[in-house]
Amino acid sequence: MRLVPALLAPVLVLTLVPGQGSADIYVYKDRNGLTHYTNIKPRRGKYRRLYRTGPGKASRRRCKGCDVVPARDTSPARFTRYDKFIYGAARLYKIPVALIRAVIESESGYDPRVVSSTGAKGLMQLMPMTARKMGVTDVFDPRENIYGGTRYLRVLANTFNGNLVLTVAGYHAGPGAVARYKGVPPYLTTHKYVRVVIRRYYKYQKREAARRRARSGAGSGAAPTVVPPSRDVGE
């Protein structure tokens, strides 16, 4: 199976050319009949917009049932309480801060004590087997959970050649399901999850860009939205 590396060079164009980016998700087949999922609008050929996640009315509608679990910790401080761990994990595993934040918000609403009906636990809702594979001994410890969840994102990004859409889908449905269906699995909950996470990813990306500009005092561009290959982390 061959998957398009949709997050490498193409997404850099999004960050360097304002107004050219799209958070929508597209699917198309190439001349060899291979199906591709990407957040970059194809410039030619036939394609289909799988769903809209970007700016506009559709992105502002709350999707009932999109969040896996409701947050019990509703303090505004929770959104910055784990910054040290988020930035540390992002540096270690070379995963965008915006993606880590998007997953945490979608999975737990930044509540480290959440347990889902399926047994996923903590900020990044790690299943017991995944937690063990990622070296997490205490899933309710914010630092361990964030580092373990980010490491898992790194493994998925490596598996799917940096493709943002498939990495997020794999986090929700499992890499086996993505491989089996050669793309986003046909599960309603997974499609909702991918749509919500990617929309939030772009939201956090803009915030991170503003944060860097404020700290540097210069008009630097947004952070690369790539999930570059990093083969120093195994499963």
State the catalytic residues.
107
Please measure the distance between the N-terminal and C-terminal CA atoms of the chain and give it in whole angstroms: 20
Query: Which are the contacts of 116, defined by CB distance < 8 A and separation ≥ 6?
Result: 68, 69, 125
Query: Which are the contacts of 28, defined by CB distance < 8 A and separation ≥ 6?
Result: 35, 36, 38, 42, 45, 46, 47, 48
